[in-house]
Amino acid sequence: MKDAVVAACELLRAGDVVALPTETVYGLAADAFNPEAVAKIFTVKERPAFDPLIVHIASRGDLKDVAVVPEEIAAVVNQLTAAFWPGPLTLLLPKQPSVPDIVTSGLPTVAVRQSAHPVFRAVCKALGSPLAAPSANRFGRISPTSATAVMKELGGRIPLVVDAGACAEGVESTIISIEPRAGKKPIFRLHRAGPITKEQLQEYGRVEKVKPSVGEIPQAPGQLASHYAPLTPLILLEKPEDFVPEEGKRYGLLSYTGDEDSPYVTMHEWEVIEALSPGSGKLAEAAIRLFFVMRQLDEAGLDGIIAEPVSETGLGVAIMDRLRRASIRVAE
């Protein structure tokens, strides 16, 4: 893997983009301080310029290079980074002038985190510069959790994909901003649910979900209503009895456990059934498998994918967030 790190750094220094593994999903990385290189991310992904990127740093000490930490939230930022970095927590903070506007889509804030993946961190450290890195897929599509998935999405568009196996978390990082309150715990504005759950964050502050208005310009990465979507129409079915299949169409089921007696499994003669957590119903396993299973169903030649909901507790909040965004274009 050392040779891969060297190769990645050579390309990044030359102003190119490379796909790198993180603990959440594979990212499409560029030197965050090189606006021309960052522009290639938007081009390769076909990502709109108004959707900001996350900046990844090699160590907690590098935070000062990309973000300003206001004095009134410095203590809680220290608490959060000590507890969850390196890891899948992204903080939305005022940006340093050194961060190009293209990275933040012109916003005065920057989304920043420290990845826990050893390969990503090794590249970031060896490069000596933070990395801007959204998911390594075409915009709006299913996020890649393996190098194979990256090649299906971006093969021929980028010069290097560093393969380090499957991602450990499977869904993108949790994103929060921090609102101080005199004499009280701060409010954490939850811009995107992820592996760091509301329950974990509540030890340090009060968590309130952000609900962007329709048509509102995103204030953080990953806020668009339609996202993470397969090409095959996906419907998130809140109740089994609501399913009305169209005659002659082939449907697949994205099941939680795949249990034979499940009302979702028994309600239709499915062409294929893919389970998020086969038999066991564990949310951690479901999160890891979510995008992989969605991709399997998307490639099965179906007319429609029916998704079973999961419990909206812990990691289930992030899973349901991704399923709703993947299905919203169908509902509309």
Strand partners, 275: 255
Q: In the Cβ-directed half-sphere of 76, how many Cα atoms lie within 13 Å?
A: 24
Give the pLDDT confidence score for residue 330 in this predicted structure.
Answer: 37
- Kindly report the CATH number that applies to the domain delimited by 234-331: 3.40.50.11030
Give the pLDDT confidence score for residue 215 in this predicted structure.
Answer: 62
The domain limits of the chain are 2-209, 234-331
Give the pLDDT confidence score for residue 51 in this predicted structure.
Answer: 92
Give the pLDDT confidence score for residue 279 in this predicted structure.
Answer: 82
pLDDT band, very low/low/confident/very high, at 331 (cuts 50, 70, 90): very low
Give the pLDDT confidence score for residue 183 in this predicted structure.
Answer: 83
Closest CA to 162 of 332, 331, 324, 2: 2
Average pLDDT over residues 248-270: 95
- Phi, psi (deg, nearest 5) at residue 71: -55, -35
Burial of 89: CB neighbours in 10 Å, binned 0-12, 13-18, 19+: buried
What distance in Å separates the CA atoms of residue 222 and residue 215, rounded to the nearest whole number? Answer: 14
Give the pLDDT confidence score for residue 8 in this predicted structure.
Answer: 98
- What one-letter code names the amino acid at 149? A
- Kindly report the CATH number that applies to the domain delimited by 2-209: 3.90.870.10
Average pLDDT over residues 245-250: 94
Sign of CA dihedral 113, 117, 118, 122: negative
Token pair, residue 144, equals 């890649």
More confident residue, 150 or 280: 150
Give the pLDDT confidence score for residue 214 in this predicted structure.
Answer: 59
pLDDT at position 328 over 70:
no
pLDDT tens readout for residues 184-193: 899 999 999 9
More confident residue, 97 or 215: 97
Per DSSP, 218 falls in state P
Q: What share of the chain has pLDDT > 90, as a percent?
A: 89
pLDDT band, very low/low/confident/very high, at 287 (cuts 50, 70, 90): very high
What distance in Å separates the CA atoms of residue 212 and residue 200, rounded to the nearest whole number? Answer: 23
pLDDT tens readout for residues 82-101: 999 999 999 999 999 999 99
pLDDT tens readout for residues 47-62: 999 999 999 999 999 9
pLDDT band, very low/low/confident/very high, at 211 (cuts 50, 70, 90): confident
